[in-house]
Amino acid sequence: MKQKTSAFFKDTTHLMVYGHESWLELAGSHGHVGENVTIYLKWGHNMQVDGLAGKEKMKALVVHPNGDKKDIQVAGGGPEYYVLNFNAQVTGLYHVISNITGNYVIDNEGKFQKGTRKDYPDAAKATFYNQFAQVIVPVGHDLEGTPPKADIPLEIQPEMWKQWRLGDEINFQIIFRGEPLDGTAVDVAYSGPGGYRQWQEMTGRDGRLALQAREPGRYLLIARCRVPEGEEGVYDELSLTATFALMVTK
């Protein structure tokens, strides 16, 4: 597949077949009641930006502290990010989620092509990619509690939330269709004063994972799951990705 370019950004949507994913970064550390909250939607691999995905198949929403959901527009920003905005009316923990989907096949020559089995009936494999990005937005100061759930097919759920600081242990549970995902690898990327690193953690019993905040900076968790199920004549397997971004301070 050829890479598309425009006057505004490098379109690398097709690289989702090789592991590219989106993630969300909160502008600042928290929001304020009555003001717009801004989140940047970025694209690349393991928190390293590489162009952008086309936003025609992107959508986003915010889950309010009371569980209400509201759609958010994915707006243009810069050559390396889109912008999500919402107005926070009450103090509390908000959960912002973005989603992008794509259909790709491996043709009979072993090459990736954009489309479904309808477009390539003789394809060796047809995959539906469904990717989610998550971030918790605290509106107010020194908040601590359980954030609302995203209720997405593959979700990274924090057990609780607060302003994470150096030395904290941050506990998560990886959930697939409402059930814990045991024994699965989760990629972790870190970027901050200590440089950039990436490594893997494994979920244990009940899909739980404990992240040690050893350095201040941005962390990103990436969970993936392939499911051998499809839609007849369209795709053969489902590829799910979820990312979860957080900030650790001193």
pLDDT at 118: 96
Q: What percent of the chain has pLDDT over 90?
A: 92
What's the pLDDT score for residue 9? 76
Counted domains in the chain: 1
What is the arithmetic mean of pLDDT over 127-141? 97
| pLDDT, tens digit, 9 for 90 and up, residues 160-196 | 999 999 999 999 999 999 999 999 999 999 999 989 9
Residue 65 has pLDDT above 80, yes or no: yes
Q: What CA–CA distances, in Å, run from 154 to 77, 174, 206, 222? A: 27, 7, 14, 11
The model carries a pTM of: 0.94
Q: Which amino acid is at 174?
A: I
Decide the pairing of beta strands 237-248 and 125-139.
Answer: parallel
What pLDDT is stored for residue 124 in this prediction?
95
List pLDDT tens digits, range 25-54: 999 889 999 999 999 999 999 999 999 999
Give the pairing type, strands 69-72 and 81-87.
unpaired
Is 60 exceeded by the pLDDT of residue 3? no
How many angstroms separate the CA atoms of 152 and 17, rounded? Answer: 21
Residue with tokens 């359980």: 146
Distance from C-alpha of 112 to C-alpha of 121, rounded to nearest angstrom? 14
Tell me if residue 170 falls in helix, strand or coil: strand
Q: In the prediction, which pLDDT does 7 show?
A: 47
21, 132, 198, 204, 248 from 189: Cα distances, Å = 13, 17, 4, 19, 13
Residues near 143 by beta carbon (within 8 Å), at least 6 away in sequence: 30, 91, 92, 93, 161, 162, 163
Range of the domain at 199: 4-248
Mean pLDDT of 118-126: 96
* Residue 85's pLDDT band (cuts 50, 70, 90): very high
Distance, CA of 84 to CA of 37 (rounded, Å): 8
CA distance 44 to 12: 8
Q: Which residues make Cβ contacts (< 8 Å) with residue 65, sequence separation at least 6?
A: 90, 91, 92, 93, 94, 148
pLDDT at 14 over 90: yes
Averaged confidence pLDDT in the chain: 94
What's the CATH code of the domain at 21? Answer: 2.60.40.10
- Contact indicator for 224, 181 with CB cutoff of 8 Å: no
Residue 1 confidence (pLDDT): 58
